[in-house]
Amino acid sequence: GQSLEQPSEVTAVEGAIVQINCTYQTSGFYGLSWYQQHDGGAPTFLSYNALDGLEETGRFSSFLSRSDSYGYLLLQELQMKDSASYFCAVPSSGGYNKLIFGAGTRLAVHP
């Protein structure tokens, strides 16, 4: 089977840096993606890592270590609008876009 583990909640202050970890167990690996979801909103794609290393997109970066079955999302220069839930996800063992999601990490950014 496939499963993903991530912390349920993280709290940080404006301007700080926060790291949201995700460990996964999959029968085949096709990459790790991250989604942001504000309350009442739709999941929005943030990043995707298929290979080891760090991918940077503005204030957000995502890291993957396939040997450790581990990745993280790094959010820098936190803003209040970053308060949301963040989900890591992997494609199903078939490799196509059927996504298996973690339970989500709720990030609260305080002034």
Partner 1 sequence: NAGVMQNPRHLVRRRGQEARLRCSPMKGHSHVYWYRQLPEEGLKFMVYLQKENIIDESGMPKERFSAEFPKEGPSILRIQQVVRGDSAAYFCASSPRDRGIDEQFFGPGTRLTVL
Residue 85 gets which letter from DSSP?
A: E
**Interface with partner 1, residue 91, by CB under 8 A:** yes
**Interface with partner 1, residue 71, by CB under 8 A:** no
- Considering only CA atoms, which of 35, 44, 37 is closest in space to residue 4? 35
**Interface with partner 1, residue 31, by CB under 8 A:** yes
Find the shortest distance in angstroms from Cβ 57 to partner 1.
11
Q: Where are the beta strands (DSSP E) in the chain?
A: 3-5, 9-13, 18-25, 32-37, 44-49, 53-57, 60-65, 70-75, 84-91, 99-101, 105-110
Query: What sign for the dihedral angle of Cα 7, 50, 97, 95?
Result: negative
**Interface with partner 1, residue 54, by CB under 8 A:** no
- 65, two tokens: 């270590």
**Interface with partner 1, residue 45, by CB under 8 A:** yes
Find the shortest distance in angstroms from Cβ 18 to partner 1.
19
Range in contact with partner 1 (rule: CB under 8 A) among 13-21, 35-43, 66-74, 75-83: 35-43
**Interface with partner 1, residue 100, by CB under 8 A:** yes
Site residues for partner 1 per CB under 8 A: 30-31, 33, 41-45, 48, 87, 91-92, 94-104
